Structure formats: structure tokens, C-alpha cells
Amino acid sequence: MAEIINDFEKARDILQSDVLAIPTDTVYGLAANAFDSNLVAKIFEVKQRPSFDPLIVHTSSKYRIKDFTEKIPSVLDELVDKFWPGPLTIILPKKNLIPDIVTSGLKYVAIRIPNHPLTLKLLDQLDFPLAAPSANPFGYISPTSAMHVQRMLGHKISYILDGGDCSVGVESTIVGLENNSLIVYRHGGVSIEEIEEVVGKKNVLISRDSNTVAPGMLSSHYAPGIKLIIGNPKELIYDFSKNKPFLINFKSLIPDYPSELQVCLSKNGNLKEAALSLFSALHVADQSGAGMIIAELVPDEGLGKAINDRLARASFQKH
């Protein structure tokens, strides 16, 4: 098992020569020196991540970004001024200092300043940025606590830096520019509505074919170990009663159904709270002894878009 540490200095030392699971505002990441190809290779190996799926580079200030990309274009600059540090990743042309392994050979690099005090302090004191994908085996549920990382990767890594539960709970929103238009490649912790408030409604395009541009956005992703189907739990529990389903409800529990076999994401129907609960709910479901999961979609607005995207990908699996 990995050693779970709280000690900031120890974390800084480990990162000189090894990978380290780190907390962020969105999900836990598996981090390594982004300038060191060998350490980055270890991330791919630990996660069993295909080499064609590029990593996000995390840093602590806009000033440092000059080392790994050209000037940030104004529309992206407005967004980062509003949302950094926070759950937004931007994609820009990369400079040579970022090794090809980080970007899977693409000429573009994904960059983010995460909003987590411990990790920001770490990034500030290191003289290199951190490449970090989510700290889960490839294609599996993302971790929102140190214990989630321990359960999924504890046998493969030496250390996890514990920074408490994540405050956002879904991954960052990924944006970039194509022909001067702003494209959203992945729904995440910053909603489309929030982005539109900054850049104007007609200036935002949503990428439908994210698989080619962001190769990691595969249809099947974020998947638990048991089958997940999307639908109305109330209606489906009878059809699937033989499978002992675990229910992920949006606002309310199903009366008379065992409480250990269901959760509700937000009693008040708050999508922020639901996003925060989503991956935990999937981890609990996976550990519950249930034979399958029935999950209800949430309203397709605000953070609901990120939640529904993750549920759709979790349901699309080849078990």
C-alpha cells in the first residue's frame, strides 16, 4: 500500500525523483515533473494509460506559462483571469521544453492552475510544472479523496499526498481555439453558462467529436467495475431486481429500497453538490456488493452537463 502523507516538505522531496498522487480542486492527480520524460513515462505505466492520451500540465502562475507556450490569446486570457486558479484547462501550442511524451506527440499542450492550497504551494516551490492525469487506472472512476487513490493505485505507487476531499468533484473543463473560435472539448467544473458570461453566448462551440482532438475523451471512460445503466431508478428496479442494483438518484431516495444500495446526489437538487458527490457515489456503488448500477440523469444545465457526460461515459462500457 502507498504511504499517505500530509507533510508538504516530504511531498516536495518525493517529486524530485518519483511520482506522487496529489490533491486538486477537481479530482486527485497522479503527478510527476513535466520536464522529465522518464517520470512522465511512469505515470502512463502506473495508470496503464495508452500513450496516445496526453496529460495536463499544472502550474502555479500565469507568469510561468511563458516557459511552455506562446502568449495566451485574448479570449483564453479573459477566461483564465476569471477562472484560475480553478477547474479550467486551456490548450495552446507547446514549446520544446515540454517533452513529446506529455502531449502524446501533439503540438499542443493542456495547461491548468488548480485551486488547492497545498498543491498550489507545492507548484509554487518546485522549479518545474507537474504533469498529472486523474489518479485512477485508465478508464476507471476518478478519485476525489486520498482513500479512493489508495484503493485504486495504492499497490502501484509509494506515496499519496492527502489534501482532504476535493471541492469540485468533477474534472476541469477543457477549452481551446480552432480558427479563432472557442471550443469546449470536455464539460467540467466550469459550466458553459459561466464561460458564455465571459465571452458571449454566440462565441462558444461544443466539440462533438472530442475523440480525435482530445484522444482521452473516449466514449467509454469513468467506468465502475460493474455495469451501469442510465434510466429512472423507480421504474427500473423491478426489471433488474435479480441483479441487486445500486441506485444513484438525483434528489431523493426510493422509499422501501435498502439504504445501503442507494444514494441521492443532492437533496436540494443543487448541481454543484451533485457534481461533488458523483464520483464518491460511483466508488460506494462499486464497493457495495451490488450487481449493477442504475443512475438517473440530472438536469442538463450548469454542472449538470459534466455530470451527465460522466454518467454517459461510465455506462458505455464493454464488460
| Least distance to Mg ion, CB of residue 94, Å | 20
User: Out of Mg ion, ligand TXA, none, which partner does residue 149 contact, by CB within 5 to 8 A per kind?
Assistant: none
When the beta carbons of 51 and 252 are compared against ligand TXA, the nearer one is: 51
Instruction: Give the integer Cα–Cα distance in Å for 171 and 190.
Output: 9
Q: Could you give phi then psi for residue 249, rounded to 5 degrees?
A: -95, 155
Instruction: Give the integer Cα–Cα distance in Å for 42 and 145.
Output: 22
Alpha-carbon 71 to chain mean position: 26
Member of 40, 110, 120, 175 binding ligand TXA (CB under 6 A): 110
When the beta carbons of 134 and 172 are compared against Mg ion, the nearer one is: 134
Member of 24, 69, 134, 173 binding Mg ion (CB under 5 A): 134
Shortest CA distance to 144 belongs to which of 262, 310, 312?
310
User: Out of Mg ion, ligand TXA, none, which partner does residue 262 contact, by CB within 5 to 8 A per kind?
Assistant: none
Stretch that binds ligand TXA, among 64-72, 116-124, 131-139, 224-232 (CB under 6 A): 131-139
| Least distance to Mg ion, CB of residue 178, Å | 23
Member of 216, 224, 245, 302 binding ligand TXA (CB under 6 A): 216
- Residue 126: how many CB atoms within 10 A of its CB? 17
When the beta carbons of 73 and 215 are compared against ligand TXA, the nearer one is: 215
When the beta carbons of 87 and 245 are compared against ligand TXA, the nearer one is: 87
When the beta carbons of 134 and 308 are compared against Mg ion, the nearer one is: 134
DSSP state, residue 224: -
Instruction: Give the integer Cα–Cα distance in Å for 128 and 104.
Output: 19
Instruction: Give the integer Cα–Cα distance in Å for 144 and 146.
Output: 7
User: Out of ligand TXA, Mg ion, none, which partner does residue 315 contact, by CB within 5 to 8 A per kind?
Assistant: none
Cβ proximity of 174 and 182 under 8 Å: no
User: How many residues sit in the footprint of ligand TXA (CB under 6 A)?
Assistant: 29
Cβ proximity of 128 and 44 under 8 Å: no
Instruction: Give the integer Cα–Cα distance in Å for 65 and 111.
Output: 8
Name the residue with cell 495566451: 72
Report the interface residues with ligand TXA, using CB under 6 A: 24, 26-27, 29, 53-56, 87, 89, 91, 103, 106, 108-110, 112, 114, 132-134, 171-172, 174, 213-217
